[in-house]
Amino acid sequence: MVLALSDPPALHAHPAPRGRWHAPWRVDGTALPPHQLAVAKGLVLLLWFFGEAGRLRAPFVAILPPLEWLPGDATVWTLRALIAIGSVLVLGGRAPRFGCGIVSGALFVGITMNALVYRNSLFFVAAVLLLMATHVGAISTWLLRLQFSVMYAAAALNKVLIADWRDGTYFEHWQTVVLDNTWWADLDASLPGPPLGVLAGWAVIVTEFGLAAALMHRRTVHGALVVALLFHTLPVLTDRLTFGIFYSALALSFFVFLEPEEATDASRPARIAHDPRLPWALTAAYVTAALIKDGLVALT
């Protein structure tokens, strides 16, 4: 298997037998490429593992004002039921694209009808599932991968436009006030040159701009995935922060960049090919992403 920005034409469609359900661990026989179905199944499992459906609340200061007119408890329970139904469709392989669409739509409504529930991490999951729901071929796969590039570019541009990021104020406040890390001030005092907050802020900005470009090029995407995983793992190790579901969902979603291997024997299902060149960090993230949760795993 190679890392690339195009999928084998033969794997663009995998018709599912009518009336048949798949075991949750199978990723073949549907309209989604195997690697995308694996990601979709992982994302819906993470939604339940992190209890995101249970955090939905009645409309309050809705981001989309018309949603404030929705009935409170009835809407919340309807959205939770839709997420459950969509999850069953995805995990069972019966209609994964439709299931992705149901879960995505319910999440979008849930996070936009209550400003206190909205989080960028849930928006990211909903966006990835929506793009999988509309998958029709190579262009859909390209758009799905473009989502990651746009995410990093937008994050970097947002930081560049904020003075606190450029002059180091953000990192200084985050480390010394919010997280109360005494080691930050000691390290800052021991280093010559610009304040540590300035260096850290611009390091993040440059890294995000670099990832946005590298993820869209065939020759650099492999290394970009490794850098991205290390980039997001650093705050997990230093500050014990996973930002809710974001770290796990992002690490799992990186598998959309992998190409599946088509089975040579018609009696065997397609599977995700093993790449001996694949860095251990990517495989480790896939296995452990669902085990990392704020307050569940104490990292020191």
The CA–CA distances, whole Å, from 84 to 36, 87, 130, 245, 252 equal 20, 5, 16, 18, 20
Q: Can you say whether the dihedral through the CA atoms of 255, 131, 137, 149 is positive or negative?
A: negative
Indicate the pTM of the whole model.
0.76
Q: Decide if 216 contacts 146 (C-beta within 8 A).
A: yes
pLDDT of residue 159: 92
Q: What is the mean pLDDT of each run of 10 residues along the chain (300 residues)?
A: 38 47 79 88 93 91 86 92 96 91 95 89 92 82 86 92 90 84 81 83 94 89 90 83 85 80 42 40 43 38
Q: Which of 268, 6, 279, 254 is nearest to 137 (CA)?
A: 6
Please give the radius of gyration of the chain, using alpha carbons only, rounded to the nearest integer.
21
pLDDT of residue 89: 94
Rounded to whole angstroms, the Cα distance separating 149 from 5 reads 12
Give the relative orientation of helices 120-133 and 34-49 as an angle to the nearest 10 degrees: 150
Rounded to whole angstroms, the Cα distance separating 299 from 290 reads 15
List of residues 6+ apart from 213 with CB closer than 8 A: 149, 220
Structure tokens given for 45? 């499992």
Q: Which of 216, 230, 232, 226 is nearest to 4 (CA)?
A: 216
Rounded to whole angstroms, the Cα distance separating 225 from 253 reads 11
The CA–CA distances, whole Å, from 30 to 36, 85, 120, 252, 267 equal 10, 18, 29, 20, 16
List of residues 6+ apart from 267 with CB closer than 8 A: none
**What is the CB neighbour count within 10 angstroms for residue 292?**
17
pLDDT of residue 45: 93
